[in-house]
């Protein structure tokens, strides 16, 4: 393979000298310089004669990545060496073991991680997700691998013009989905905004060019206005002895395009095209936070502030460590302008992110916002979802772009992504709180657990021991912790339900002397509206279905289903005789007959009555009912014999009740259980409407008297989640 030309060598030497110049701030001794030089010459030799698609020598790419690592990300010597070597193992005959022998285990580990990332991004989405999971686990060991990869991606985006269109789309999509959010989360704001701009440039080239042209056309006028706006600020701060620098920052093409898309407005209607940044040198006389607010106070003497547009990232730093006070002031032309106030330390963290974070962290040992975020990310990565798609979604959720602050009842601030709900808040407090949540008091007002929170809300979670997560909850959470906790619970419960269901079913089949078979399940599954045995066992184990009518199901012909209603009356020629027959008349003198709940007798069963000595009611049991046998052994004098069945038309009246409560999976099942099973009341019509986690409904039922109606309302009111029951 041919080597490089003399002109190539000149370019390579120039770029390497620029890297060495940048390394002056990170190389502390001769060993550091030796490592940088050795890494460069090994990479140059390994990539000898190889060119990029653009035609330039390949070694210029690792050189550029190394310069980004040093100058724009602020990493050290070993990271710079790893950046120079990041493609050597993937593209040449060198191995990770070779790198370890030459540069030590730390550099080798980073190069190995970078090699895996490169391999992952070349695979299909499913394999990519699994590979990416393994690579992102380096966050648990050395986050620098990810930072170097972001530098690699930034240079690839800067040189993306030489790639074919389909490659541009693939790389751009990956960048917007993962690398820009990662850069943001690691505090690399400048890199994040450049990645977004470059992604827009290649994804929507015409729109990018149009916005860029309009910004250039108005640049002179805008710069003149910025100078006029900041001049009074300079004078005011100088008068008050503040040491500072001030500049106007023009918004990026991507941020303008995003606002145009979000608000559906043209470029001409976007007025906040710039923001002013004040960076002050801290004084020993007051804390940095107090100095930020002091500068804000001075600015209010010049311009009118907009109180509802203050963003206090000083009191509540972002999860990536970002601190600043953002305020909005009225410009002389009547348009609002944003001013960012930050100390030199805050500015370094904002520009350098991770590297600056660890530099200043050496001054204190307390866990800060960045540490908390990193802990959450590690948790998400070490407890991944079941499939690749879910895993990628979990990773994306840990990189949310916009944060808000909400408060506990005691005033503790907690950060969440915009779009988080009270359910996310519950799980953030504790997994058990989330698993038993039934509602929330948001700003002292009872709301659904599905209610989306707003910045500044004060939230208290309402719980009940009987509550538990349902699959519907997954549609109402925006944090990884909540999602993983719900999935974990549902998996555990489903497995327990299946095991419980198997035990219940097998024991019941033994009573009938039946051995479970495929033929048996072909009859049972459709009867209980189940698709497979696991669903049948799960529903049985969770008491969604029961086997009270299993004997009827086994005997019945599915084509001849007839719904019948029954009652009991005193009749017959002999004292003590009881016949169950047509009930066309109502007699106040006759006793009340009740079907026993323990055995649920149905027409065709041999039945015996038991007169309850407390109420005078006659409880009708199956003759072989164990409960009846026990009663007969103790109080045989209360038995009523010679009972027969007869169909009847019930004497009843139509009534309607209205109800309201928290929507949840299974509420209709519970209503049906109470009304039709426990109370033996026929439902004529049921209407339910659900919105924002709350349901409202009306139920028309046939009842015999007001006692029956009141009993129904009382029972329905005790169902979990029911808030109000009233007669219409």
Do strands 413-417 and 459-463 pair parallel, antiparallel, or not at all (unpaired)?
A: unpaired
In which element (H, E) is residue 727 found?
strand 722-727
First and final C-alpha spacing in the chain: 90
**Which contiguous run of DSSP H or E holds residue 32?**
helix 30-46
Only one residue has tokens 């008050």, namely: 240
* Residue 327 CB partners (closer than 8 Å, separation 6+): 296, 299, 305, 306, 309, 310, 311, 338, 339, 341
Angle CA(701)–CA(706)–CA(711) in degrees, nearest 5?
Answer: 75
* Catalytic residue from among 32, 56, 90, 723: 90
* Contact (Cβ atoms closer than 8 angstroms) between residue 635 and residue 606: no
DSSP-assigned letter for residue 421: B
* CA-based radius of gyration for the chain: 36
The CA distances from residue 401 to 178, 182, 396, in Å, are 11, 10, 10
388-398 vs 125-136: helix axis angle to the nearest 10? 50
90 is catalytic: yes
CA atoms within 13 Å, Cβ hemisphere of 446: 10
Structure tokens at 52: 């990029």
Tokens describing residue 682: 């026929």
Give the SS3 label for residue 689. Answer: strand
| Alpha-carbon span 460 to 446, nearest angstrom | 9
CB-CB contact of 11 with 17 (8 Å): no
Give every CB contact of residue 129 below 8 A, 6+ residues apart in sequence: 388, 389, 391, 392
CA–CA separation, 374 and 335 (whole Å):
39
- The catalytic residue among 8, 56, 91, 371 is 91
Active-site amino acid positions: 90-91
């Amino acid at each position: 393979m041919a080597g490089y030309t003399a002109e190539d060598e000149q370019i390579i030497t120039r770029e390497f000298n620029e890297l060495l110049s940048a390394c002056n701030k990170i190389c502390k001794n001769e060993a550091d310089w030796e490592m940088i030089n050795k890494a460069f010459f090994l990479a140059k030799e390994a990539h000898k004669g190889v060119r990029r698609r653009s035609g330039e020598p390949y070694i210029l790419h690792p050189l550029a990545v190394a310069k980004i690592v040093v100058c724009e990300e602020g990493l050290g010597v070993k990271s710079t060496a790893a950046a120079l070597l990041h493609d050597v193992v993937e593209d040449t005959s060198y191995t990770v073991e070779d790198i370890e022998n030459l540069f030590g285990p730390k550099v080798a580990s980073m190069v190995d991680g970078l090699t895996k990332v490169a391999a992952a991004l070349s695979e299909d989405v499913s394999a990519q997700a699994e590979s990416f999971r393994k690579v992102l686990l380096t966050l648990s060991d050395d986050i620098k691998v990810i930072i170097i990869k972001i530098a690699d991606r930034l240079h690839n985006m800067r040189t993306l013009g030489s790639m074919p269109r389909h490659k541009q789309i693939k790389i751009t999509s990956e960048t917007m989905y993962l690398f820009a959010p990662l850069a943001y989360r690691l505090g690399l704001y400048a890199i994040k905004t450049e990645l977004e701009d470059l992604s827009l440039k290649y994804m929507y080239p015409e729109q990018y060019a149009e916005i860029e042209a309009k910004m250039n056309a108005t640049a002179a006028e805008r710069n003149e206005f910025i100078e006029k706006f900041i001049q009074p600020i300079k004078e005011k701060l100088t008068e008050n002895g503040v040491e500072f620098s001030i500049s106007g920052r023009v918004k990026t093409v991507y941020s303008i395009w995003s606002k145009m898309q979000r608000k559906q407005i043209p470029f001409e209607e976007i007025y906040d095209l710039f923001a002013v940044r004040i960076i002050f040198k801290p004084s020993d006389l007051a804390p940095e936070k107090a100095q930020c607010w002091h500068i804000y106070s001075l600015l209010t003497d010049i311009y009118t502030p907009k109180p509802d547009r203050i963003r206090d990232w000083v009191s509540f730093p972002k999860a990536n460590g970002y601190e600043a006070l953002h305020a909005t002031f009225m410009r002389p032309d009547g348009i609002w302008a944003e001013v960012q106030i930050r100390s030199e330390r805050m500015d370094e963290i904002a520009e350098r992110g991770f590297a600056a974070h660890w530099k200043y962290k050496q001054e204190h040992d307390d866990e800060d916002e960045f540490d908390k975020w990193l802990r959450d990310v590690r948790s998400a990565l070490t407890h991944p979802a079941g499939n690749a798609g879910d895993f990628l979604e979990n990773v994306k959720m840990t990189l949310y772009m916009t944060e808000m602050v909400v408060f506990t009842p005691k005033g503790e601030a907690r950060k969440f992504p915009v779009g988080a709900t009270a359910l996310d808040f519950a799980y953030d407090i504790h997994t058990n709180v989330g698993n038993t949540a039934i509602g929330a008091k948001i700003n002292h007002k009872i709301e659904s657990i599905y209610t989306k929170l707003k910045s500044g809300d004060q939230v208290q979670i309402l719980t009940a021991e009987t509550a538990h997560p349902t699959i519907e909850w997954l549609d109402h959470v925006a944090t990884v912790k909540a999602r993983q906790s719900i999935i974990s619970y549902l998996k555990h419960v489903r497995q327990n339900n299946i095991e419980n269901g198997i035990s219940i079913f097998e024991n019941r089949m033994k009573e009938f002397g039946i051995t479970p078979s495929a033929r048996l399940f072909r009859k049972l599954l459709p009867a209980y509206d189940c698709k497979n045995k696991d669903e049948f066992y799960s529903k049985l184990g969770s008491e969604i279905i029961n086997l009270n009518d299993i004997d009827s199901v086994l005997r019945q012909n599915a084509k001849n289903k007839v719904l019948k209603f029954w009652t009991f009356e005193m009749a017959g020629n002999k004292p003590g005789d009881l016949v169950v027959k047509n009930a066309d008349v109502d007699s106040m003198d006759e006793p009340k007959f009740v079907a026993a709940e323990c055995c649920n007798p149905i027409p065709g069963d041999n039945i015996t009555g038991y007169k309850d000595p407390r109420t005078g009611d006659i409880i009708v049991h199956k003759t072989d009912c164990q409960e009846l046998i026990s009663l007969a052994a103790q109080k045989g004098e209360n038995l009523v014999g010679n009972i027969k069945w007869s169909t009847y038309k019930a004497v009843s009246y139509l009534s309607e009740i209205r109800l309201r409560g928290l929507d949840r999976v299974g509420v209709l099942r519970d209503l049906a259980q109470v009304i039709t099973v426990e109370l033996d009341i026929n439902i004529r019509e049921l209407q339910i409407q659900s919105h924002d986690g709350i349901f409202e409904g009306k139920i028309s039922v046939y009842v015999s008297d007001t006692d029956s109606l009141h009993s129904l309302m009382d029972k329905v009111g005790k169902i979990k989640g029911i808030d109000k029951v009233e007669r219409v």
